Amino acid sequence: MKPLTYRESGVDIDAGEDAVRRITPLARATNRAEVLAGVGGFASFVRVPAGYREPVLVSSTDGVGTKLKVAFLAGRHDTVGIDLVAMGVNDILVHGAEPLYFLDYIAVGRLDPAQIETVVGGIAAGCRQAGCALVGGEMAEHAGGHAPGEYDLAGFAVGVVERARLIDGAAVRVGDQVLGLASSGLHSNGFTLVRRIVFDVMGLGVFDPLPGMGRSVAETLLEKLLESVEVRAMAHVTGGGLTGNVPRVLPAGCRVRISRSSWSVPPVFEVLRKAGHVDDAEMFRTFNMGIGYVVIVPPAAAETASRLLRDSGERVARLGEVVAGDRGVELVA
């Protein structure tokens, strides 16, 4: 019904139209039943999925940060979009929400339709993996704003959760147990649960069909976990490390005491620490130190939750527990 798709802003109109022609089918391929109108028009229309009594919209915005520089250096633009989606979707999954849709923002110095197609191809692949629809985006051309061939990327993810099932950490109590899921090393700092599980654990490629008809592997795993035990909080360990991210989901008066001997920090972090003469606190607030995801459960649920995650192929450590005190993370020997 709508001939134009992506919004254009200060963009070379012919290059913009060429880019739009290339990315429209990529975005369309991500549609889910709730999408009434995706890319095109002034805005996208998405129905709130049926079956929610009190639906809460869970929204996140993210960039891909320094991974963009890696993409520029490597000349590979097909995977930053996957990272972008995964960053946003993981921020939604930690609250127990179902990813619903995604919009992107791409700023370039000069619009190269083929490059846009490659980048958006990655975003669409990420959306298909996460089971969310790519319903819109914006391309901005800022002459002189970016070096030739470089660009900036941001994304906006929306999910939905039944209000009574929203996981926001408010239920965390002193004595709760803290489980850590291993990340696959330095390069996955900021990489995502979705990506890690899909590629590292399950060994699927970007374009492999996913089990579960439009539901991501991560979502399926989380759903199983949430159905089996009471999960009181979850945290995705990105920039800021354990120290920066875990307190975000703790209520006032609760801190997390983590035993450093409860898991093995991958050797790469030790190499980095020595090479950079980085002090310990800085390491823990900068890198994930081998823990990509944290799950907080009541004491009685810790064993079941650990087993369930291990059965799904995760490496799980019992990091420590919730203690009374100022909101924060405390590392003990």
Task: Scan residues 240-269 and list those touching a copy of itself (CB under 8 A).
Answer: 240, 244, 247-249, 251-252
| DSSP three-state, residue 187 | helix
Q: What amino acid is encoded at 142 in this protein?
A: H
**C-beta of 59 vs 228, nearer to a copy of itself:** 59
CB of 10 to a copy of itself, least distance (A): 4
The window from 21-29, 146-154, 207-215, 312-320 that contacts a copy of itself (CB under 8 A) reads 146-154
Smallest CA-to-CA distance from 95 within 226, 268, 262, 198 is with: 226
Site string for a copy of itself, 193-232 (x = CB under 8 A): ----------------------------------------
Tokens of 185: 């090393």
Query: Does the footprint of a copy of itself cover residue 290 (CB under 8 A)?
Result: no
Least Cβ distance, residue 54 to a copy of itself (angstroms): 7
Q: Are residues 203 and 253 in contact, defined by beta-carbon separation less than 8 angstroms?
A: no
Does 1 interact with a copy of itself (rule: CB under 8 A)?
yes
Alpha carbon 153 to chain centroid distance?
14
Which of these ranges, 9-17, 121-129, 303-311, 313-321, lies near a copy of itself under the rule CB under 8 A?
Answer: 9-17
3 state DSSP class of 296: strand
Which of these segments, 89-97, 224-232, 266-274, 315-323, binds a copy of itself (CB under 8 A)? 89-97
12 secondary structure, DSSP code: -
CB of 13 to a copy of itself, least distance (A): 7
Enumerate residues 24-53 that contact a copy of itself by CB under 8 A: 36-37, 40-48
Q: CB of residue 140 vs a copy of itself: minimum separation in angstroms?
A: 4
Kindly state the number of chain residues that form the binding site for a copy of itself, as judged by CB under 8 A.
Answer: 77
60 binds a copy of itself (CB under 8 A): yes
Backbone angles phi, psi at 151, to 5 degrees: -160, 170
- Note whether 291 and 235 are within 8 A (CB): no
CB of 20 to a copy of itself, least distance (A): 12
Q: CA-CA distances (angstroms) from residue 215 to 162, 178, 241?
A: 18, 27, 28
Looking at 57-65, 117-125, 209-217, 307-315, which segment touches a copy of itself (CB under 8 A)? Answer: 57-65
Give the tokens for residue 267: 């050797």
Task: Report the alpha-carbon distance of residue 151 to residue 116 in Å, rounded.
Answer: 10
3-state secondary structure at position 106: strand
State how far the Cα of 204 lies from the Cα of 241, in Å rounded to an integer: 27
The whole-angstrom separation of Cα 188 and Cα 190 is 6
Task: Report the candidate in 216, 218, 206 with the shortest Cα–Cα distance to residue 78.
Answer: 206
Q: Which is nearer to a copy of itself, 65 or 206 (CB)?
A: 65
Nearer to a copy of itself, 147 or 333 (CB): 147
**Binding of residue 115 to a copy of itself (CB under 8 A):** no
Give 193 or 309: the residue with its C-beta nearer to a copy of itself.
193
Of 216 and 262, which CB lies nearer to a copy of itself in the complex structure? Answer: 216
Q: Which stretch binds a copy of itself (CB under 8 A): 73-81, 138-146, 222-230, 317-325?
A: 138-146
The only residue of 91, 112, 176, 314 in contact with a copy of itself, by rule CB under 8 A: 91
**282 SS3 class:** helix
The one among 19, 23, 32, 62 contacting a copy of itself by CB under 8 A: 62
Q: Among 12, 18, 28, 65, indicate the residue that binds a copy of itself (CB under 8 A).
A: 65
Cα(31)–Cα(42) distance, integer angstroms: 18
3-state secondary structure at position 105: strand
Q: Report if residue 76 touches a copy of itself, rule: CB under 8 A.
A: no
Q: Are 236 and 190 in contact, with CB atoms under 8 Å apart?
A: no
Q: How many CB atoms lie within 10 A of CB 312?
A: 19
